[in-house]
Chains A and B, each alone.
Chain A
Amino acid sequence: MSDSINTETSTDTETNGEQTVTTASPSAETTAGESDERVREEWRQYEFAGDAKLSVENLDVWYGDDHALKDVSMEIPENSVTALIGPSGCGKSTYLRCLNRMNDRIKAARIDGSVELEGTEIYDPNANLVELRKRIGMVFQSPNPFPKSIRENISYGPRKHGDINKGLLARLFGRDDTEKEGALVERSLKQAALWDEVSDRLDDNALGLSGGQQQRLCIARCLAVDPEVILMDEPASALDPIATSKIEDLVEELSKDYTVVIVTHNMQQAARISDQTAVFLTGGELVEYDDTDKIFENPESQRVEDYITGKFG
C-alpha cells in the first residue's frame, strides 16, 4: 500500500493513522504497520545514561515449531523499573522467563541468542543456575507460596543457600541462627508491606493468607534471597485496587536498590510505576522500547499508539 511509503518518509503519523482507519480494513492496517516497523530499528534502541544491568541480544524462542519470541534485543538499565506491555500471548512471560533461565524448565522451549547480566553471558553452558537465580529473583503471575508457615516461606531460600542454619544440628554446633532468621523475616516482610498484617501469626500456614497477602509474601520470599534483579509477571493481576496500589508502591520503593522488570496488562500501572516501557505485539516482536513518558505520550509506532489507546490488541 502506498501508506507504507508515506509513513516511512513522512513524520505526519497523525494523517496516516486517520487514512488507515478510514480507508483500510484491519488486515490492511496490520500489513501497513508491519512494513512500517521493519525499517524502524531505532525505535527499540533505547539510549540511557549509566550501565545496563541486563543486555539481551537477538533472542529467539521457539516452543516446538511455534516461534514465540522473534529477535528481541534490549538493554535494561540498573536500578530502574522496566515495564513490559503487550496483548495476551505476545510473549511477555516467555521473555521474562528467559532472563533467569526459567525457560530451561520447559521441555518444549528452545532458546537462541544472548542475555548478559553485567556483561556475563547467562546462557553460557557453564553458567551456575543457582547463582543466577539467586541474583535474578522472580515473582509469578499467580501467588504460589509453599504449604509451610509464613516464617518458613521467607527463610526457605536463605536456609537452602546455607545463609541461615537452624535445627538440632545447628544448635548442637552452636550456630543457631534463629535470631538472624527472625530479623530477616521481619525485614523482608516489612519491605513487602506485609509485616503489620502478619507479624502475630508468622507460624501459621501461608495458604491461610488472602490472595493479595500471598502475592506480597511471594515478593517478600523473593527479597529474602537478596537478589539484584526482580522479575515480576503481572504481580497484581488477581488483586483489588488497594492491594494493587500497595504492590505498586512497593515496586517504586524497590527500584531504588533493585532492577525491576515487570509485566503488566494495566497501562495506567505501567505509566505510573515504570521508568521505561517495552511494547511487545502479537507474534513475539518487540516493537518499541523507550522512556515510559515517550511511549505513552508520543509513541513512534502507529500500532503501539493504537494498542495504548485501546484500538488494538
Chain B
Amino acid sequence: MSDAYATTDRLVSADSNVYDRGLDTAIALSVIGFTLGLVTLVNLVPPGASGSALTTALGTLLAVVVGAVGITGLASYTNVVPVTSQRVRGIGLGLVVSTLALTALAAVLPVTMATLLGIVLLAEALAITAAGVSSRLELVDTEPNMSAGLLSGGALGAVGLAMGAAVGGALTGSGSLLWLVGAVVAGVGLFLLAILPREDLGSTLPTAIVVGALGLTIVTGTIGVGWQWNPQTLSGGFTGGAVIPVFLLVGTLLSAWSAAKCRAGFGARGREYGAFLVINLNAFLMVAVMATIVVFVTIKGVGYAVHGLSVGALTALVLLTPALLAAVQFARTPAGTNDWNAGARQLFRVLPLAAIGALAAMFASVLVTGTPLRYAYDYTVQVNRQGQALDTAIAVTPDTSIGTLLLIAPALLLAVTFFRSFGSLRNVGTQSERADSVRQAVPTVVLGLVVLIGFFLVFGPAPFGFPLNETLAFAAVVAGSVAAGGLAVSPLVGVLASDGPTLAESAQREAPLFTLGVFGGLGLLLATLLLQPVAGINPRVGPVNLVPAVALGAAVASLALATLTTVAKRSSEETITRRLLTEETRLGLVGAAGFTALVGLHVAVTGTSFNVLGVSIANEGSLSWPMVMQAYIPLGAEPGGIMPAIIGTVWLVVGATLFAVPLGVGAAVFLTEYAEQGQFTALVEIATNALWSTPSIVFGLFGAAFLIPRLGGDESLLAGMLVLGFMLLPLVLITSRESIKAVPDEYRDASAALGVTQWETIKSVVLPAAMPGVITGVILGVGRIAGETAPLILVLGSTLNATAAVDVIDGFRFVSGPPFIANDALLTASASLPTQVWAVIAAGVSGSPQMGWATAFILLMVVLTFYAVGITARTYFRRKLNYE
C-alpha cells in the first residue's frame, strides 16, 4: 500500500509496513509454490523426495533465486536497471526470505517435498486470513468495496463445489448420491461467504478456507505420495504424485490472487493487481508447458549429445559475455509507461539478465577455484534394450592463460559498444573528399575478398590443379593485411597531412576518416582472417605471424587516434564537431577493441597460438567437439555421431525452402495482384487449404509413387526436398497472400501515380512491405517440415548412422548433355535427424536409446536455430518498415 497510495497523500499507519512486507512475502511464496508445483508435476523433483535430495533441490532453487535477485539488486543499485517500485523490491526480498525458509525447513525437519508443499499452502492460508482480518479491523488503511462481487463469488463457489464433491465422494463411497450434498453445501457456503461480507473478508476468508483445506489434506497425509484413487466409472486413476502438484497450482493461484488484492488495498486497484498476477502466472504456465517439452528432451538428450565436449572456462565465459551484454542492453531499454505494474514487468525484463549473470558467475567460480563442473546423468531408458548409463559430463576445465582473458574480455565488451554505435556512422563523413574516395574503395576491396573466399570455398585451395594457395591466395592475404593496416592508419596519415593550424582542427577536419579507418580495417581484416585458413596459408615475415601482427598494429593505431581525438575534443568549441568527435573517440576505442577481439576469437576458436614480438598468446584445446557431432564410427570403441544426419536435415530444409518460397510467393502475388477475384481464386484457396491439411504420409506416398520413378528410381535427397517443399508450399502461399493483401492500397496508388509499372511496384513496394508476414509463414512451415518423419521414411532412404554426410556443394558438375548441370549427391539417399530418431527410438534399429534422445535434442536445436534465423530476418524487415 505504501507506494500504491503514495500519490493520494494518505497517512500510512506505522504497522502497514509489516502488512506490506508480509503480503509481499506471501505473494513471493505463492510464486515459489507455483514453480515448485510445476517442478513436481514434471517430476523434476519427485513429490516423495526428502532429506538431502530435497535440501539439494531447494538449495539449487535458493541459489538461483538469490543469484537472480542479487544481480538484479546490484544492477538496480548501479542504476543499470532502475527498480524503483517498493512492491518489486519487497517481492524480491520475499522471494529470498521464503526460499530460505523453505530450504531451512527441509534441512531441519524430516519432511518430503509433498509435505513441504502442503506447509506452503497452510502458510498462505494463514497469511491471507491475517491480512483480511486486519483490514476488516481497520488496523491498516484499505479501500474495500462492499462485496467481493459475483464473479469472485462464482469462481470460489465453483472451487467449493468441486472440493465438496470430491470429499463427499471419498467419504461416502461410490454408488450413493450423498456426494451431491457435500458439493452443494461447500459450493453455496463458499459462494455466500465470498459475496456477503465486505470485500476484505469476502476475498480472503473463502480463499483461505480452500487453500488451507488443500494444504491440510496434503500435510496430514490424507492425500500422500502413495495415495491412489481408481473410481470404477473411469478406466484410469489418480495418484498422489499427480494430484498434489495440481492442488498446489490451484492453491497458489488462488492465494496469489487474494494476497495481491490485499496488498493493493482492495477496491479497483486490488482487483487489477490480483488479475495481473493470476494472468501472469497463467501465462507462465503456457511458457512452462513449452519449456517442459524442451527441458524434457534436453535432459534426456543433452548428456549424450555433449559427451566428449570440453570447454575451457575462459572460452565459456567469453562466449557468454555478449549474451550478458545483450541482456543488460535489453534490460536497460525503458519498459514503457511508468504505471503500477511497470515494476513487475521490469522484473520479467531482468530475468534473462539474472540467468546469464548466474551462469557467468558459475564459470568465473570454476576459473577461480579450479574445480571443474560436472553434470553426471544417470538414467536408463528402456526401449527394446537395456540402456547403459554413460559417464556423460560437461567438464568445464579451468584455464589460466591470463593473456587471453586480458585480450578477449575487454575486447568483446568494447566490440558490442562498437556495433551499438554503428548507426551513428551514417551521418558522418560527408565533409571530406578523401573520406569519400576511401569509402568507395572499402566495399570494392571487401567484395573482392569475399569473392575470393567464395572461390576457395567452392573450388578448394588448388582449383583445376593449379596450386593457387602458393601464389594468389598468399598475395591476397598479404594484400588484405596490408590494406587493413593501411586503412586503419589512414586517419593518422590524414591528420598529419592535413593543413589545419592546430592538431585539434586537423583532427576535426579528418574526423570522417576515423570512421573509415575503423570500418575498413575491421572489414578487410575479417576477410583476411577468413581467407587465411581457407587458402591454407599462414603468411609470416620472419618470426612474425602477419595477420595477427597487423591486427595488433591496427589496434594500436586506432588507440592512438582515439587518444588524439580525445585531445582534440578538449580544445574544440563547436557543438557539431564535438558531437562528431565524441562519436569518433568512442569509435576509435571500440574499433581497437574489435581488432583485438578478432585476434582473440581467432585464437580461442582455432586454438592456434601466435607470437608477436616475443609475447605468446595461446589457448590450446579449449574447445573440442562432442562425439555426437562427428560421423558414425562403425567399429570404434566410442559410440558414433550424427553429423551426416544434421547435414542431411539442413539440406532438406534449405532445398524445400528454395523450392517452396519462390513458388508460393509467386502464386500469392499472382492471386492477389493480377488475378480477378472470382471462382478461380476461390478454388485455389480451397485447394491450398486442403493441401495444408493433407496428412504428411500421403505426401510421402505421392513422393514414393510419383516422384521417385521420375528421379532416377531410387530414394534420394532431392525427392525428400521436393516432398517437404510440397508440404511447405500451401502455408507459404496462404501467409504470403494474407500479408500481401494487408499492404495498404495507398502504396500501390502512390507508386502508380509516379508512373511506375505494376510489376515494379510489387517488387519494390508491395513485397518488401509484406516481407515480415511471408517470413512468419516460412518460419511456421520450416518448423513443421524440419521434424517431418513419415514422408522421409518413404522417399529419403533409410541411411542410418551414416559415416559420411552428403556433399551437395561438391556434387555439382557440368555435363555435356541436358540438363547440363548434374548433382549426384542430390540423387543419393541421405540420413536425416527425424528418421534417425524414429529408427533408434521407435524401431530399435542400431544405436542406444540415449543416442535417439541425443538426436532428438539436436533436432530440436536445429529447428530452433532455423527459428532464430527466421525471427531475426523478420525483425530486420519490421525495423526497416517501421521508423525507429
A binds B: yes
From residue 419 to 453 of chain B, which have CB atoms closer than 8 A to chain A?
Answer: 426-427, 443-444, 447
Number of B interface residues, CB 8 Å?
28
Instruction: Report the separation of the CA atoms of residues A203 and B882 in the bound assembly, to the nearest whole angstrom.
Output: 13
Do residues A160 and B753 form an inter-chain contact, with CB atoms below 8 A?
A: no
> A147-B881, A205-B882 in contact; A157/B746 too (CB < 8 A)?
no
Which residues of chain A are within 8 angstroms of B765 by Cβ–Cβ distance?
Answer: 146
Which residues of chain B are within 8 angstroms of A130 by Cβ–Cβ distance?
Answer: 755-757
Do residues A157 and B756 form an inter-chain contact, with CB atoms below 8 A?
A: yes
Closest-CB distance, B150 to chain A (whole angstroms): 46
A77-85, A218-226, A242-250 - interface stretch: A218-226
A63-71, A111-119, A135-143, A278-286 - interface stretch: A135-143
Q: Which residue on chain A has the smallest CB distance to residue B763?
A: A160
From residue 756 to 800 of chain B, which have CB atoms closer than 8 A to chain A?
Answer: 756-757, 760, 764-765, 768-769
Report how many A-B pairs have Cβ atoms within 8 Å: 84
Which of B447, B753, B755, B882 has the most C-beta atoms of chain A within 10 angstroms of its own C-beta?
B753
Instruction: Report the separation of the CA atoms of residues A221 and B755 in the bound assembly, to the nearest whole angstrom.
Output: 12
Which residues of chain B are within 8 angstroms of A168 by Cβ–Cβ distance?
Answer: 447
**B749 at interface by CB-CB < 8 Å:** yes
Do residues B746 and A207 form an inter-chain contact, with CB atoms below 8 A?
A: no
**B752 at interface by CB-CB < 8 Å:** yes
**A132 at interface by CB-CB < 8 Å:** yes
Q: Which residue on chain B has the smallest CB distance to residue A200?
A: B427
Q: Which residue on chain A has the smallest CB distance to residue B881?
A: A147
Which residues of chain B are within 8 angstroms of A201 by Cβ–Cβ distance?
Answer: 427
Which of B447, B754, B757 has the most C-beta atoms of chain A within 10 angstroms of its own C-beta?
B754
> A205-B883, A207-B883 in contact; A102/B756 too (CB < 8 A)?
no
The 8 A-B pairs at the shortest CB distance, nearest first, are namely A208-B883, A205-B883, A133-B755, A134-B755, A144-B746, A157-B754, A138-B753, A147-B881
**A175 at interface by CB-CB < 8 Å:** no
Q: Which residue on chain A has the smallest CB distance to residue B761?
A: A160
Do residues A205 and B884 form an inter-chain contact, with CB atoms below 8 A?
A: yes
Contact of B750 (CB < 8 Å), options: A131, A161, A207, A218: A218
Which residues of chain A are within 8 angstroms of B752 by Cβ–Cβ distance?
Answer: 102, 105, 133
Contact of B754 (CB < 8 Å), options: A142, A207, A222: A222
Do residues B753 and A131 form an inter-chain contact, with CB atoms below 8 A?
A: no
Do residues B769 and A140 form an inter-chain contact, with CB atoms below 8 A?
A: no
Which of B444, B750, B757, B768 has the most C-beta atoms of chain A within 10 angstroms of its own C-beta?
B750
Closest-CB distance, B473 to chain A (whole angstroms): 23
Do residues B883 and A204 form an inter-chain contact, with CB atoms below 8 A?
A: yes
**B812 at interface by CB-CB < 8 Å:** no
- Main secondary structure, interface of A, reads helix
From residue 141 to 183 of chain B, which have CB atoms closer than 8 A to chain A?
Answer: none
Do residues A137 and B764 form an inter-chain contact, with CB atoms below 8 A?
A: no
Closest-CB distance, B333 to chain A (whole angstroms): 18
Instruction: Report the separation of the CA atoms of residues A144 and B447 in the bound assembly, to the nearest whole angstrom.
Output: 36
Contact of A129 (CB < 8 Å), options: B427, B755, B880: B755
Which of B426, B756, B881, B882 has the most C-beta atoms of chain A within 10 angstroms of its own C-beta?
B756
> A207-B882, A208-B883 in contact; A160/B754 too (CB < 8 A)?
yes
Closest-CB distance, A305 to chain B (whole angstroms): 35
**B747 at interface by CB-CB < 8 Å:** yes
Do residues B881 and A137 form an inter-chain contact, with CB atoms below 8 A?
A: no
Which of A130, A132, A147 has the most C-beta atoms of chain B within 10 angstroms of its own C-beta?
A147
From residue 689 to 737 of chain B, which have CB atoms closer than 8 A to chain A?
Answer: none
Scan A167-184; emit 1 where CB is below 8 A from any B CB, else 0: 010010000000000000
27 A-B residue contacts at CB 8 Å? A102-B752, A130-B757, A131-B755, A132-B755, A133-B754, A134-B754, A134-B755, A140-B746, A144-B747, A145-B750, A146-B747, A146-B750, A146-B765, A147-B747, A147-B769, A160-B756, A160-B757, A160-B760, A161-B755, A171-B443, A204-B883, A206-B883, A207-B881, A207-B882, A207-B883, A221-B754, A222-B753
Instruction: Report the separation of the CA atoms of residues A105 and B427 in the bound assembly, to the nearest whole angstrom.
Output: 40
Instruction: Report the separation of the CA atoms of residues A203 and B769 in the bound assembly, to the nearest whole angstrom.
Output: 17
Which residues of A pack against B, CB within 8 Å?
A: 100, 102, 105, 129-134, 137-138, 140, 142, 144-148, 156-157, 160-161, 168, 171, 200-201, 203-208, 218, 221-222, 225
Instruction: Report the separation of the CA atoms of residues A105 and B745 in the bound assembly, to the nearest whole angstrom.
Output: 11
Closest-CB distance, B445 to chain A (whole angstroms): 13
Do residues A142 and B746 form an inter-chain contact, with CB atoms below 8 A?
A: yes
Instruction: Report the separation of the CA atoms of residues A182 and B306 in the bound assembly, to the nearest whole angstrom.
Output: 55
Instruction: Report the separation of the CA atoms of residues A208 and B744 in the bound assembly, to the nearest whole angstrom.
Output: 17
Scan B858-884; emit 1 where CB is below 8 A from any A CB, else 0: 000000000000000000000011111
Do residues B753 and A102 form an inter-chain contact, with CB atoms below 8 A?
A: yes
Closest-CB distance, B546 to chain A (whole angstroms): 30
Q: Which residue on chain A has the smallest CB distance to residue B754?
A: A157
Do residues B749 and A147 form an inter-chain contact, with CB atoms below 8 A?
A: no
Which residues of chain B are within 8 angstroms of A221 by Cβ–Cβ distance?
Answer: 750, 754
Q: A132-B755, A134-B754 are in contact. List 15 more A-B contacts (CB 8 A).
A: A105-B749, A137-B754, A144-B744, A145-B750, A146-B747, A146-B751, A147-B747, A147-B769, A156-B754, A156-B756, A160-B757, A160-B760, A161-B755, A207-B883, A225-B754
From residue 584 to 623 of chain B, which have CB atoms closer than 8 A to chain A?
Answer: none
Q: Which residue on chain B has the smallest CB distance to residue A135?
A: B755
Which residues of chain A are within 8 angstroms of B750 by Cβ–Cβ distance?
Answer: 140, 144-146, 218, 221
> A140-B750, A218-B750 in contact; A147/B882 too (CB < 8 A)?
yes
Which residues of chain A are within 8 angstroms of B447 by Cβ–Cβ distance?
Answer: 168
Closest-CB distance, B170 to chain A (whole angstroms): 64
Closest-CB distance, A133 to chain B (whole angstroms): 4
Instruction: Report the separation of the CA atoms of residues A130 and B481 in the bound assembly, to the nearest whole angstrom.
Output: 50
Instruction: Report the separation of the CA atoms of residues A225 and B880 in the bound assembly, to the nearest whole angstrom.
Output: 24
Instruction: Report the separation of the CA atoms of residues A122 and B751 in the bound assembly, to the nearest whole angstrom.
Output: 19
Contact of B749 (CB < 8 Å), options: A102, A129, A134, A160: A102
Closest-CB distance, A234 to chain B (whole angstroms): 15
